[in-house]
Structure 1
């Protein structure tokens, strides 16, 4: 019985099914032969405040490097970071991201900045018939 299992698996991964996977990948804008970058980091964002919580929760947030709401930090996947996240899981939002998605504090600040100055969109005089 166990000897038949690999042959059944090989039937399921026939060239026709591989071709359909490639077609599906092309339809969503990627190629199945491309190497997808693995997720290697946690993106941790503090969503809820730690006010009125015990000091051990606040200490865990400080150990993660989070000091205020809506602050985002990046950490490599590791067991100790995962344990800290589980400790404060009700307060944070966690996403797995590849190394290319990591942004420094300066890059995050630049993304939040508004465009300096102003732009003229339309003139009221040209819109009103005189």
Structure 2
């Protein structure tokens, strides 16, 4: 039984780094005030082309369904995400500054290749003695 649970966890961990070409490039936003809403982020990123009005912002919640202070913001293209990161990184929303971390693993082919390279390195390190 424990072996199955460990296998499921490993499969989940691998799935989280897989590329999905149907998703646009995104920024991970850290440092949000806990009371921040999607509307606050829409206002913060006003003037940037977001992926779509409804699905462009994903607020990350804790296990208790409380705000974690982090979110993902999806952009129309990689250039727009880079522009937003360059212009808005460490800018304030209320009394908190926001960190904007670029994550192109969900949309940019170069990011996908890099993520794939990292996943191959992880597999080699984890199973280094299995294939020799």
Please report the TM-score for the alignment, with normalisation by the length of structure 2: 0.29
Task: Judging by fraction of residues, say which structure has more strand.
Answer: 2
Which one scores higher on RCO, CA 8 angstroms, separation ≥ 6?
2
Task: Judging by fraction of residues, say which structure has more helix.
Answer: 1
